[in-house]
Amino acid sequence: MGAPAISQELALRIGLAARVLPDTDVQRLMKVLVGALGMPLTEQKLSQLTAQQLRTAADDEFAAVSLPQIKQALDYLWGKTPVEITEELPPLAPYREGDMPGSIRVAVASNGGEKLDGHFGTCARFLVYQVSPEEIRLIDVRRTNAGDTADDKNNWRAELIRDCHLVYVVSIGGPAAAKVVKRDIHPVKVVHGGEARAVLTDTQQVLAGSPPPWLAKVMGKRPALAVSGDGEEQE
């Protein structure tokens, strides 16, 4: 049996790391990483790789590589430097405030195509949709590279999507989630990711049914009324 497949994002990270290491191609770096970390290569293993391990792996192959180059390669391998998988996006749909009554705005953490496949703190961009029970419009693509030099990257990213009501992510840490919630954005984790529109179709079903009170308020709807035991309606 062959080696377990790695994700597209992980493969891209390794490819970009190989570019910054002198005289190293992707296959060579893969062999070095497997030698240092074992199979299968995972995000968790790469996140624990140290500069010393990388420099001394494969018979000190990278021992002479400068520390700045090693650190740049590790930033890619750790996921600290966002990567974008180049895939064509559909054109943005025109949107003006008020076009879609009863809609909400949703950000999706993405690295490539029209996919939910990003972590909040490392995704290359947020796809921004206006979503109603009847329609989904991609209205903006907000890239995150400008925030790489921010003192607080998670705060910068939360501010980038502050006009959204939901943000879908593969994962998000506790401190980052707190910054998102502080801006009245509700983070939703979808661990396995998927096609963004497929995930948003589920959101449409919630909007069309009985959304929770806070979401109904965003939509401009009155919360569903409950009937008490004496037949009176109560909110």
pLDDT digits (tens, 9 = 90+) for 157-206: 999 999 999 999 988 989 999 999 999 999 999 988 899 999 999 999 99
Radius of gyration (C-alpha) of the chain in whole angstroms: 22
In this predicted structure, what is the pLDDT of residue 59?
67
**C-alpha angle 64/69/71, rounded to 5°?**
110
User: Is the per-residue pLDDT at 88 higher than 70?
Assistant: yes
Tally of CB atoms within 10 A around 62: 23
pLDDT number for residue 227: 43
Q: Report pLDDT for 11.
A: 81
Q: Is the pLDDT of residue 225 over 90?
A: no
pLDDT digits (tens, 9 = 90+) for 36-49: 888 888 888 888 88
What is the per-residue pLDDT for 82?
65
Dist. CA 144–CA 154, nearest whole Å: 10
Residue 235 has pLDDT above 60, yes or no: no
Split at pLDDT 50, 70, 90, the class of 221 is: low
Q: Give the count of beta carbons closer than 10 Å to the beta carbon of residue 90.
A: 9
Q: Give the Cα separation of 86 and 153 in Å (integer).
A: 23
CA distance 96 to 181: 26
pTM (two decimals): 0.65
Mean pLDDT of the chain: 83
Domains in the chain (CATH in brackets) are: 8-78 (1.10.150.590), 104-219 (3.30.420.130)
For residue 218, what are the contacts with CB-CB under 8 A and spacing of at least 6?
Answer: 104, 165
pLDDT for 1 beyond 70: no
| pLDDT above 70: percentage of residues in the chain | 86
- Tell me, what's the pLDDT at 139? 96
Tens digit of pLDDT for each residue in 138-152?
Answer: 999 999 878 877 889
Q: How far apart are alpha carbons 63 and 25 in whole angstroms? A: 17
Mean of pLDDT values over 99-127: 90
**6 vs 32 pLDDT, higher one:** 32
pLDDT at 234: 47
